[in-house]
Amino acid sequence: MKGCCELNEIKKLDNNRKGFAFLVEIIRLLLCDQGMRFFDKQAYPIVAKKFNVSVCVIERDVRYLLKKAGIRLPVKKFVKKILEEIKK
């Protein structure tokens, strides 16, 4: 039943915000590249280049997205939980 909580948290995210597109792309990258361990240092620059923004913008918008959804986890922990759920 624990996994259900993470899925409910995803539903709270506003998919109209830029941070949502960034978050989806980060998760997609991590699913495709199992060797990527430090997503903030590896995935963020790739996503930033794709969307033609800075890494700081990626970090800020994803953090803001989670904050507005009432998710108190740091981005790293949230993404890790989502990846664990997807891989089940």
pLDDT of residue 52: 97
- Of residues 3 and 81, more confidently modeled: 81
- CA 48/CA 70 separation, integer angstroms: 25
Q: What are the residue boundaries of the structural domains of the chain, listed by start? A: 2-87
- CA 54/CA 59 separation, integer angstroms: 9
Cβ-proximal residues to 39 (8 Å cutoff; 6+ apart), any chain: 26, 29, 30, 76, 79
CB atoms within 10 A of CB 5: 10
pLDDT per position as a tens digit, 21-73: 999 999 998 888 766 667 778 889 999 999 999 999 999 999 999 999 998 99
Residue 6 has pLDDT above 60, yes or no: no
CATH fold for domain 2-87:
Arc Repressor Mutant, subunit A (1.10.10)
